[in-house]
Amino acid sequence: MPLSAQLAANIKHAAHNAGFELCGIAPLRAHPELDHFSAWVAAGHAGEMKYLETRGENGDLKRASPETTFPWACSVIVCAINYNTAQPYSTEVRDPQCGWISRYAWSREDYHDAVMRKLRQAETKLREIAPDTNLTTRCYVDTGPLVERVYAKYAGVGWIGKNTCLINQQIGSWLFLGVILTSLELTPDLPAPDRCGSCTRCIDACPTDALIAPYQLDSNKCISYITIEKRGEIPEEMRAGIGRHVYGCDICQDVCPWNRKAPVTAAEEFQPREGLVNPALAWLAEISEEEFREKFRGSPIKRTKRSGLRRNAIIAMGNSGDASFLPLLKKLEKDEDGVVAQAAKSSWNRLT
């Protein structure tokens, strides 16, 4: 076996030992999907996520020009880990008193930390076995200037579905990705074939029509973006479509046939924190500063800040059809100010 193939096999073995179910290798190259990424940003579909628009010295988007952003790198080692737990899907939950937090955000440990720890373990092994003493490596979990799912596709880890998520034929799409960029030239894997076929379930199920075409998401319309990234008030016309989602949205993955038999993980760090699966809307709407800090320490949910999470829970009450929320909404409108009071007023109006 040539050295680059032997090294590739060894690093995959190390990734599996570190806890990753999937690992593949892609060349670091300007794959055609990165042109689509540039066009997507140019069309304004990234919304207010300015970090996706970071540009290099030549003015190109960093994420779309990997050879300029990482001139020293040759290969991307893509690792994926299943975070699915044995809980119902959002599409199966009917209780109007409860909301929905996206599956990825339930975990006991922040997935960035959990995945990075495993990635570092694989990276250490790579450094031990690599013959190149000048080897350069860099690990990223979400935070690097690259479009991970494109490399995951070319590493054979999965295909990018019409819902824009990465899907693996055996495991489905409940996957966290971590990447190790390296100066080593490793034998790449073959890209994963697209297995969406004629299915359009995700596009049909999206309540806000955020999947504007197959493989194209307009973040501005996406419940996940609106509830997590959007600051301040949510425009009135968007509120009804959010349903009872208070942090993220899983609908386009819940309806995907490739997730029907998705395996569940036994990993302790990805098991849900108490109260986060179908959280009580009244609890979130009135959560104190102290409880928010305590409950969401080391959780991605901190990203919305307390006011954002309360805003979302109050909007969800307005979409619940449950008039028992009316006294609480009146109280919040009277006692609070800013986005919380505004959301309470609008939800009260929607319920009456």
Question: By the criterion CB under 6 A, which residues form the site for ligand SF4?
Answer: 161-163, 196, 199-202, 255-258
With respect to ligand SF4, which residue has the nearer C-beta, 152 or 340?
152
Name the minimum Å distance from CB 255 to ligand SF4.
6
Name the minimum Å distance from CB 194 to ligand SF4.
8
With respect to ligand SF4, which residue has the nearer C-beta, 211 or 246?
211
Name the minimum Å distance from CB 259 to ligand SF4.
8
Q: Residue 144 contacts by C-beta under 8 Å, 6 or more apart in sequence?
A: 138, 179, 181
Name the minimum Å distance from CB 269 to ligand SF4.
27
With respect to ligand SF4, which residue has the nearer C-beta, 184 or 196?
196
Is residue 226 within 8 A of residue 242, CB to CB? The reply is yes
Question: With helix as H, strand as E and coil as C, how does the chain read?
Answer: CCHHHHHHHHHHHHHHHHCCCEEEEEECCCCCHHHHHHHHHHCCCCCCCHHHHCECCCCCEHHHCHHHHCCCCCEEEEEEEECCCCCCCHHHCCCCCECEECHHHCECCCHHHHHHHHHHHHHHHHHHHCCCCCCCEEEECCCCCCCHHHHHHHCCCCEECCCCCEEECCCECCEEEEEEEECCCCCCCCCCCCCCCCCCHHHHHCCCCCEEECCEECHHHCHHHHHHCCCCCCCHHHHHHHCCEEECCCHHHHCCHHHCCCCCCCCHHHCECCCCCCCEHHHHHCCCHHHHHHHCCCCHHHHHHHHHHHHHHHHHHHHCCCHHHHHHHHHHHHHCCHHHHHHHHHHHHHHC
- Two tokens, residue 335: 């006692």
Paired with 180 in beta bridges are: 77, 139
Q: How far is the C-alpha of 229 from the C-alpha of 270, rounded, in Å?
A: 23
With respect to ligand SF4, which residue has the nearer C-beta, 8 or 150?
150
Q: Is 189 a catalytic residue?
A: no
Q: Which residue is nearest to ligand SF4 (CB)?
A: 161
Name the minimum Å distance from CB 163 to ligand SF4.
4
With respect to ligand SF4, which residue has the nearer C-beta, 89 or 283?
89
Name the minimum Å distance from CB 256 to ligand SF4.
3
With respect to ligand SF4, which residue has the nearer C-beta, 257 or 272?
257
Q: How far is the C-alpha of 55 from the C-alpha of 44, rounded, in Å?
A: 16
Catalytic hit among 110, 132, 142, 194:
142
With respect to ligand SF4, which residue has the nearer C-beta, 163 or 265?
163
Name the minimum Å distance from CB 204 to ligand SF4.
9
Is residue 37 within 8 A of residue 167, CB to CB? The reply is no
Catalytic residues: 142
